[in-house]
C-alpha cells in the first residue's frame, strides 16, 4: 500500500482574503480533483483543516507517484478566481510506499508520509517528496 499526504499551500491566505465560505469551496474543489484522480478502491480522506490523505492499496511505487503527481498538477490547474489569491492553489505532498515484504504499521507509514510532506514544504512547496 501507499499513503499520499497533501496540504493546500498557504490555505490561511484564502480564508483571510476571501472568507471561510471561499475556503470551503476550495476544499470541495480540491477534494473532487483527488477523488477523480484515484483508482476504484482507493480512498481520499480530509484529516482536518487543509490536509488530506489518500490511501492506495495494492500499488507499486511508480503508479503511486504518478497518481500523486496527477493530483498535484490537476489541483494547480483549477480555476479558482474569486476564491483564492492569484486565482489558484498549489499543494505540497508526501508519499510513502510500504514494502510488501515488510509492511509498516499504518501509524508509522502515516508518519513517514507526513515527514515527506513537511520536506516538500521546506523545499519550496508545490511539490511531491517521496519518503
Catalytic sites, residue numbers: 50
CA–CA–CA angle 46, 29, 95 (5° rounding): 45
DSSP 100-113: TTSPPPHHHHHHHH
Rounded to a whole number of angstroms, the CA Rg of the chain reads 14
Number of H helices, E strands in the chain: 4, 5
Q: What size, in residues, is the chain?
A: 131
Of 69, 67, 73, the C-alpha closest to 40 is 67
Residues 82, 18: contact at Cβ < 8 Å? Answer: yes
Amino acid at each position: 500500500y501507499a499513503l499520499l499526504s497533501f496540504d493546500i499551500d498557504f490555505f490561511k491566505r484564502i480564508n483571510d482574503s476571501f472568507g471561510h465560505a471561499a475556503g470551503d469551496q476550495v476544499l470541495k474543489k480540491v477534494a473532487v480533483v483527488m477523488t477523480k484522480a484515484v483508482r476504484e478502491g482507493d480512498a481520499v480522506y480530509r484529516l482536518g483543516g487543509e490536509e488530506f490523505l489518500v490511501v492506495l492499496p495494492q500499488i507499486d511505487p511508480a503508479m503511486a507517484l504518478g497518481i500523486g503527481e496527477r493530483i498535484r498538477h490537476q489541483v494547480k490547474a483549477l480555476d479558482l478566481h474569486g476564491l483564492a489569491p492569484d486565482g489558484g492553489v498549489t499543494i505540497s505532498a508526501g508519499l510513502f510506499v510500504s514494502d510488501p515484504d515488510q509492511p509498516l504499521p499504518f501509524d508509522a507509514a502515516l508518519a513517514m508520509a507526513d515527514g515527506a510532506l513537511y520536506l516538500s514544504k521546506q523545499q519550496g512547496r508545490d511539490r511531491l517528496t517521496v519518503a
